[in-house]
């Protein structure tokens, strides 16, 4: 594949476009801090998303709504300091782009200037098109996000699979085309039927990245803590776990406590 043969040192939006053309799947994961991002840097991950899921994973909120732009900037700049190869995309938090495209541009500029990230992501279709266009006009790459858009949880009232009826599916298809036409470089499709995701992917020139959207998308994204088995009690059907780090950490900490209490730690060699 052309992408694999060239000496690529940095994944760009153009590289992702070529991956779609060449049929090479895109691997994307979230990160919110320097330590985790440093581990991702040691891999060939293509895209690192500083998702507003940080509100849930890092801050313990039930929804993504409370996280602020200032907080996202702290998370994103920590991640950027660890990453050289992957494309770093930062979520625009709720309330920083909806309805007011000037505010949207100002928020996106803050993210780009203060974090050093490569692109921003925002949720929604036609209702955020003006914001998307204004951000793009400043030369900032935009990733769209359709289907289950967690910032609209209070409108949906539930996190169940989206666009199962024809009307919503048709709207989603139109939204995807409009985001592509506006100049988005990629679109996340979250928790929609696999057949719909396949149709949307086939209708677009830009790559789609799925989460709970089946196999016929151009790439996949998961929340890092979910796929590592750190997040407890979150087991949606789409989630494949690649480790048991949550229980491993609990076991390790219990052993540490026991070693401290029993005076086993520190031993002779572990002191000066
Ligand atoms: O915030 C996030 O982690 C996301 C992914 C689930 C796509 O938007």
Whether residue 93 is predicted with pLDDT greater than 50 in this model: the reply is yes
CA of 269 to the centre of ligand 1 (A): 45
Count of other CB atoms within 10 angstroms of residue 127: 12
Domain 4-241 classified CATH 3.20.20.60? yes
Number of H helices, E strands in the chain: 12, 8
Percent of the chain's residues with pLDDT above 90? 94
Ligand 1: which atom is nearest the Cα of residue 221?
7
**Residue 3 confidence class, pLDDT cut points 50, 70, 90:** low
Alpha-carbon distances of 96 from 93, 127, 135, 159, 199, rounded to whole Å: 6, 14, 12, 22, 31
Taking the C-alpha atoms of residue 72 and residue 55, their distance in angstroms, rounded to an integer, is 9
Q: What is the mean pLDDT of the chain?
A: 96
Say whether 59 is catalytic.
no
In the 8-state DSSP scheme, what is residue 60?
-
Q: Where does residue 62 rank: exposed (0-12), middle (13-18), buried (19+ CB within 10 A)? A: exposed
Whose structure tokens read 């409108």? 155
> Does residue 151 line the site of ligand 1, with CB under 6 A?
no
CA 42 to chain centroid: 18
pTM: 0.95
Q: For Cα atoms 120, 123, 125, give the angle at the middle one, nearest 5 degrees.
A: 115
pLDDT digits (tens, 9 = 90+) for 164-221: 999 999 999 999 999 999 999 999 999 999 999 999 999 999 999 999 999 999 999 9
Say whether pLDDT at 75 is over 80.
yes
In the prediction, which pLDDT does 33 show? Answer: 98
Average pLDDT on 117-127 reads 98
Confidence at 7, pLDDT banded by 50, 70, 90: very low
- The CATH 3.20.20.60 portion of the chain extends over 4-241
Q: Is the predicted pLDDT of residue 8 greater than 80, yes or no?
A: no
24: which 2 tokens? 């090479």
Which residues partner with 120 through β-bridges?
90, 142
pLDDT reported for residue 173: 98
Q: Which of 20-29, 39-48, 91-100 has the least mean pLDDT?
A: 91-100
Alpha carbon nearest to ligand 1 atom 2, residue: 51
Render pLDDT for 244-268 as a digit per residue (tens, 0 to 9). 999 999 999 999 999 999 999 999 9
Q: Does residue 180 line the site of ligand 1, with CB under 6 A?
A: no
């Amino acid at each position: 594949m052309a992408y694999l043969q060239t000496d690529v040192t940095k994944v760009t939006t153009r590289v992702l476009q070529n991956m779609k053309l060449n049929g090479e799947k895109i691997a994307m994961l979230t990160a919110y801090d320097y330590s985790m991002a440093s581990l991702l840097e040691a891999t060939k991950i293509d895209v690192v998303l500083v998702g507003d899921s940080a509100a849930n994973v890092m801050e313990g909120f039930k929804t993504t709504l409370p996280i602020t732009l200032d907080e996202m900037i702290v998370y994103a700049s920590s991640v950027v300091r660890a990453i050289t190869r992957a494309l770093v995309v930062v979520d625009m938090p709720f309330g920083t782009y909806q309805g007011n495209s000037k505010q949207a541009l100002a928020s996106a500029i803050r993210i780009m200037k203060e974090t050093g990230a490569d692109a921003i992501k925002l949720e929604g279709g036609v209702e955020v098109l003006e914001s998307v266009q204004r951000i793009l006009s400043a030369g900032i790459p935009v990733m769209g996000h359709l289907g289950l858009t967690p910032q609209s949880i209070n409108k949906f009232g539930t996190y169940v699979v989206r666009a199962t009826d024809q009307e919503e599916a048709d709207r989603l298809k139109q939204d995807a085309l409009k985001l592509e036409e506006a100049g988005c470089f990629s679109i996340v499709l979250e928790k929609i039927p696999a057949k719909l995701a396949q149709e949307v992917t086939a209708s677009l020139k830009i790559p789609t990245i799925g989460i709970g959207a089946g196999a016929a998308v151009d790439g996949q994204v998961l929340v890092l803590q979910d796929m590592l088995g750190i997040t407890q009690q979150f087991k949606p059907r789409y989630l494949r776990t690649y480790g048991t780090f949550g229980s491993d950490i609990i076991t390790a900490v219990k052993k540490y406590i026991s070693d401290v209490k029993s005076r086993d730690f520190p031993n002779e060699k572990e002191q000066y």
